[in-house]
């Protein structure tokens, strides 16, 4: 047990030393080190320490300012998670245009839920569709719901079903269940009733 504690403390110290080296290199003009130091200070356990996280964001901001694209992506993600939506928006827009699915999904949610911007179902659907295309199962489900409810579009059962299938293909059990239910209904296959489901538990 004591050995494990010693090893763990040694690991923490090594990480702290590595961050110190990255910060020193950043201060000497190495932009990649600014990004790496910032990410180290804003992820994992360090993210739970607001003081460390704030310092880390400054290094990420510096890296973004000097052209490190991944730093700009990380900056938008952090702003969004911290609910600074207006600050996040320009970074998320650029990240989404480069194919970062989480950024597209976040933009969809911002427009759907009017997070410091005017609510817009059409733009929400467009961003969710892009995130869906990039492999976000949750975004695919959100598009299906938009077509089901007719939010900014005509209600379209075929499109709803198609996006549930996309969600299923992306690994969502909820997407698979919704698609199967709709597909069975289209084929005239009746869903088992509650009593049938209960009886199946004892078979």
Each residue's pLDDT tens digit, 104-130: 999 999 999 999 999 999 999 999 999
Give me the number of domains the chain comprises: 1
Is the pLDDT reported for residue 30 higher than 80? yes
Task: Kindly state whether residue 59 falls inside one of the protein's structural domains.
Answer: yes
Task: Kindly state whether residue 73 falls inside one of the protein's structural domains.
Answer: yes
Task: Kindly state whether residue 196 falls inside one of the protein's structural domains.
Answer: no
3-state secondary structure of 188: coil
Task: Kindly state whether residue 99 falls inside one of the protein's structural domains.
Answer: no
Task: Kindly state whether residue 16 falls inside one of the protein's structural domains.
Answer: no
In whole angstroms, what is the distance from residue 75 CA to residue 160 CA?
33
Task: Kindly state whether residue 62 falls inside one of the protein's structural domains.
Answer: yes
Task: Kindly state whether residue 182 falls inside one of the protein's structural domains.
Answer: no
CA 146: distance to chain centroid?
Answer: 19
Task: Kindly state whether residue 9 falls inside one of the protein's structural domains.
Answer: no
Q: Are 56 and 71 in contact (CB under 8 A)?
A: no
Going by the DSSP 8-state scheme, the letter that residue 172 receives in this structure is -
Range of the domain at 34: 22-82
pLDDT digits (tens, 9 = 90+) for 168-198: 999 999 999 999 999 999 999 876 655 555 5
């Amino acid at each position: 047990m004591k050995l494990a504690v010693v090893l763990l403390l040694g690991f923490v110290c090594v990480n702290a030393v590595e961050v110190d080296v990255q910060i020193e290199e950043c201060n000497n003009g190495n932009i990649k080190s600014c990004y790496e130091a910032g990410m180290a200070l804003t992820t994992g356990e360090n993210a739970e320490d607001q003081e460390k996280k704030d310092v880390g964001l400054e290094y990420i901001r510096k890296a973004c300012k000097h052209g490190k694209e991944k730093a700009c992506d990380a900056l938008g993600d952090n702003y969004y998670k911290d609910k600074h939506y207006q600050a996040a928006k320009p970074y998320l827009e650029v990240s989404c245009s480069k194919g970062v699915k989480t950024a597209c999904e976040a933009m969809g949610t911002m427009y759907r839920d009017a997070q410091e911007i005017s609510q817009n179902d059409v733009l929400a659907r467009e961003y969710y569709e892009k995130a869906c295309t990039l492999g976000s199962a949750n975004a695919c489900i959100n598009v299906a719901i938009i077509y089901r409810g007719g939010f900014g579009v005509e209600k379209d059962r075929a499109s709803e079903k198609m996006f549930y299938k996309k969600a299923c293909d992306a690994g969502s059990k909820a997407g698979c269940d919704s698609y199967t239910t709709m597909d069975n209904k289209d084929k005239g296959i009746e869903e088992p009733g509650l009593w049938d489901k209960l009886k199946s538990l004892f078979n």
